[in-house]
Amino acid sequence: MHQPFTPIIKRVRRPFRRRTKPGTAPGAVFPDPESPAPEIRVFDYGEDQFKELKSVSVDQVRDVVGLHAVTWVDVVGLGDAKVIKQIGELFHIHQLALEDIVNVHQRAKVEVYDGQLFIVARMMSLVEGENEEAPRELDAEQISLIVGENYVVTFQERRGDCLESVRERIRKARGNVRVRGADYLAYALLDAIIDGYFPVLEYFGVELDALEDRLERQPGRATIHRLHQLRSALMIVRRAAWRQRDAINTLLREDVPIITPETHIYLRDCYDHTVQIIDVSDTCRELCADLRDLHFSQINIRQNDVMKVLTIMASIFIPLSFIAGLYGMNFDPSASTWNMPELKSRFGYPAALIVMALTAGGMLLFFRRKGWIGERQK
């Protein structure tokens, strides 16, 4: 049973706006004033210890850092430059990294500073529209990670992410996250971000199946527009995954002291996932192109069928019009024996109709034998 067609997604169009003016000194922090105020949550844990603090201040963060093996400072919202700078001073974050954190149109990348690793990634998610009938929207959000010896600081634009599974693993001590260091936590966060691409691609697959069914049953003008929307969204996913792959490749190939050899093995798995995402997105984009070609082919076939019917009708009426026009020239048979003596014939009118009927029937038979109408004879 086919799934019902649902509206195609549309992208969230957020224009590129760099807050720093041309010529501003490097490292200036000018966040978006429309961004929500920062909300800080802290996960401080070791193998046998765990503490979670919500909605804390920077001073409270200062008191917690270093109590246990690893501290994760999760900052949601980038609307307060003062708080961002205070966190930067607390963890000695480079000014250039702070500038990239608040300018949220960065590409995925990895940069190494003194004793720190700066990672930029992009989270993909589907958000609901304004109402139930509104299409779902693709949202790409920047997340920045500062990885130190015993801490990880994450900055994201707003509430809602794909990291809740990592938080639950820390709370319930599942897996290796509580027994390993900050580099493993950074891997776990990257892995959750990358795995968040797969539900988006699955949704795209459902949309493509629905479009394919609709093309077979009821193609319309809106189909090509929906295919274009879907193909554009897939381009965003592919571009983000491609850059994410390059960033992880940097962690694997370059000598980064913070990343231990044990974590390298897990990062290779992340790399494989990004390659898989790129392959799936490429396949979906090719399917979009195939469906678009199928749509155009169906349009051309329908147009050809219409043109064929019109051409056949015109071809049949051309000789009939000739006969009717020839005998409608009002020649006088009494003036000459060559001036259409058939006009005085008693059976001239039915004879002309019979000739027209035979002409039309003969042409229809000829068209059928050629395979232009009906089934082509073998």
pLDDT digits (tens, 9 = 90+) for 339-362: 777 777 777 778 778 888 888 888
* Chain mean pLDDT for the chain: 83
User: CB-based burial of residue 65 (10 Å sphere; 0-12 exposed, 13-18 middle, 19+ buried)?
Assistant: middle
Look at residues 291, 313, 323 and name the one whose alpha carbon lies nearest to residue 363.
313
Contact between 158 and 141 (Cβ < 8 Å):
yes
pLDDT, tens digit (0-9, with 9 covering 90-100), for 219-277: 666 777 778 888 888 899 999 999 999 999 999 988 888 899 899 999 999 999 999 99
Domain boundaries, the chain: 10-297, 301-370
Is residue 136 within a helix (H) or strand (E), and if so which, with residue range? none
Q: Which CATH superfamily is 10-297 part of?
A: CorA soluble domain-like (3.30.460.20)
Q: Which CATH superfamily is 301-370 part of?
A: Magnesium transport protein CorA, transmembrane region (1.20.58.340)
Predicted local distance difference test score (pLDDT) of residue 231: 87
Q: How far apart are CA 94 and CA 374, in angstroms?
A: 77
Token pair recorded at residue 134: 């509104």
Distance of CA 65 to the CA centre of its chain: 40
pTM of the model: 0.76
The single residue listed with the structure tokens 């966060």 is: 189
